[in-house]
A and B are shown apart, each in its own frame.
Chain A
């Protein structure tokens, strides 16, 4: 329908931008835990997405199996998952970290596979959703001038993301635990010499990360359907948001999530298949740009780097010409 407020041609674009921004909120909640793990604990948990799905399935069981209100179910699930994160770090991650850089990757791949198959054994392979438990919130939307639709659930999720990330920022900046976590992330040995139990700080960071992943899983199950094997795809989105926003940066994950969400929404204007592909391409572009910036910074700026590169290759070309001659 033509609208005086927004030209008809621009309406899909604005719609995609709004949807992408709101989708970014979900990605940010998913990514901020991963960012905390990478930036603070220096540990890449490849089972992060599976933790999210586990959190969602626990809430589904509490609501649909035991009949608890969804809010109460989330309040029960979050400390349980946080405790699981704490325990997993104490029992598994710490040992894996002592075994070099490859072992944590192998351990978390194995953990992910074990979690997926355990969830399959316990909950079966059927798709499940929390959509029915939140009633009209799952589909209700507001219509903005120009006919732009804004889903109420995505707005709630995005607001929740800002709240979660803001709270995490405040905790890291202004609490004893937060300062201990930051000190440990900067220099664990120096933190120990200040009386900080670095091991406990890392475990606490793991607990927060797993709790946040589980919260993101709940929002995923509210937005759509999940299976025990939905985790790895969510891990990829979270990882992309972390890289786009900057490793270890709490607010950066919100920016990264929004950039990823907008990229996917804009790609979706072209075709359904292009949606995910555009997100991946933006991630790759940012990754290459960061690598290029690091490389040029290490070589005295981009002008000096280009000069050095051309000088090096001119020499090679000249040698090759000489060999041919």
Chain B
């Protein structure tokens, strides 16, 4: 039995089908990167996994338990946490308060605000500063930290590098690599940067027009095939086959 399983998931925005027939299976310590062009359905898929967007069809289960109908806060308490696109911090609250809110409403475990400050040492001097006054990289660190302190089994990270300086992206991914090395949770990352995603993922899911255009370990696909799937084109290899 896998830690986290998604079967034939379909999500709609009104009449528009944004995600169609997506399936995945993850184990603890595994990293799945979702890639795809703008409008491919990556964020809708992640929001649906987190419980903030309803699933129209399909099944999501965590440790064998069906959580498809659970609301977002119930999923957090069940072991799924998300760092959303745009960070969505509580900007008039301090860094400490942002972390404490998540810590006291999530699950109890090894991840505490103090441990988050060890993984993201740049936040140490800023704990009593309002989150609205932080830089983009610092905000991303708080957003990831806020998800971590709920002690999830599965962490969902949306658009990790979006809007960050190259140095900030390096810092965030260094921290993610450290988190990954502990192998205590599965990670699903939505990433626009193709090279970064291919280098970080155990499995990639390339989405185009809401469907899985390509899914599997990144090493099993040629670069041309990934690029073609990314832009929703039929590549030469599959066309020939």
Contact = CB atoms under 8 A, between A and B. Distances in A.
Interface of A: 176, 179-180, 182-183, 186-187, 189-198
B233 interface: no
Contacts of A187: 88, 90
Given A192-B73, A197-B73, A182 B105 contact: no
Given A193-B81, A193-B82, A194-B105, 15 more contacts: A179-B93, A179-B100, A180-B101, A180-B105, A183-B90, A187-B88, A190-B84, A190-B88, A192-B52, A193-B72, A193-B84, A194-B76, A194-B102, A196-B73, A197-B73
B106 interface: yes
Contacts of A191: 90, 101
A191 B52 CA distance: 11
A198 B104 contact: no
A193 B93 contact: no
B150 interface: yes
Contact of A193 (B88, B91, B104): B88
Interface string B138-168: 0000000011001000000000000000000
Nearest to A195: B105
Contacts of B52: 189, 192-193
A122 B81 CA distance: 51
9 contacts: A176-B105, A186-B91, A190-B89, A191-B101, A192-B76, A193-B50, A193-B76, A194-B76, A198-B73
A179 B91 contact: no
Which secondary structure characterizes the binding site on chain A? Answer: helix
Contact of A182 (B51, B73, B90, B102): B90
B92 A194 contact: no
Interface of B: 50-52, 71-73, 76-77, 81-82, 84, 88-93, 97, 100-102, 104-106, 146-147, 150
A194 B101 CA distance: 7
A194 B50 CA distance: 11
A38 B50 CA distance: 28
Contacts of B93: 179, 182-183, 186
B82 A196 contact: no
The 7 residue pairs across chains A and B that have the minimum distance between CB atoms: A195-B105, A195-B76, A192-B72, A190-B88, A194-B102, A195-B106, A186-B90
Given A183-B90, A195-B150, A189 B101 contact: no
Contacts of A195: 73, 76-77, 102, 105-106, 150
A198 B90 CA distance: 14
A203 to B, nearest CB: 14
Contacts of A196: 73, 101, 105
A185 to B, nearest CB: 9
A199 B24 CA distance: 31
B158 to A, nearest CB: 10
Contact of A194 (B71, B91, B106): B106
A106 to B, nearest CB: 25
A180 B102 CA distance: 9
Contacts of B101: 179-180, 183, 191, 194, 196
Interface centre among B91, B102, B150 (most CB of A within 10 A): B102
A189 B90 contact: no
Nearest to B106: A195
Nearest to A196: B105
Most buried by B among A187, A190, A195: A195
B92 A186 contact: yes
Contact of B71 (A176, A190, A192): A192
A176 B102 CA distance: 10
